[in-house]
Amino acid sequence: MTDAEKVATYMQELEHPLKAEIEALRVIIKETDARISEQIKWKAPSYYCKEDFLTFNHRMQDKVHLIFHNDAIPKVSSAILEGDYKDRRMVYFKDMADILAKKTELQRVIAELLELIEN
């Protein structure tokens, strides 16, 4: 199976109360930059462009949890990024309204991170 087929199968089988929100975030992430590719990593949809940089964590059932995991992420400043880890930052979304409220900033963070990864 291709990476796209693996993700499609994963999403088809996913049982999560915020599945619609996860799907919406997948679209937002992929629309941010045509160079972004999707795969399954750590048993969840994950994104890369030259390097891995973002993965869903579906353990929480009351919010959607995104993990930015790249050495460059600490260089990106944003109110939506949480945590003070050496190479990670977290973003949480409680519902579709929260996703829509954070969409522009999420895309800005992704674009800035990809610029850092490219250079």
Whole-structure pTM value: 0.94
pLDDT digits (tens, 9 = 90+) for 11-62: 999 999 999 999 999 999 999 999 999 999 989 999 999 899 999 999 999 9
Spatial separation of the C-alpha atoms in residues 32 and 15, rounded to whole Å: 26
Which residue range forms the structural domain that includes residue 42?
Answer: 3-118
Asked if the model's pLDDT at residue 119 lies above 90, the reply is: no
Domain count, the chain: 1
CATH number for the domain including 98?
3.90.1150.200
**Closest to 91 (Cα-Cα) out of 114, 54, 66:** 66
Written as six digits, the tokens of 37 are 């590719």
- Across 43-79, b (16+ Cβ under 10 Å) vs e yields ebbbbbbeeebbbbebeeeeebbbbbbbebbbebebe
pLDDT on residue 67: 98
| pLDDT tens figures, 75-87 | 999 999 999 999 9
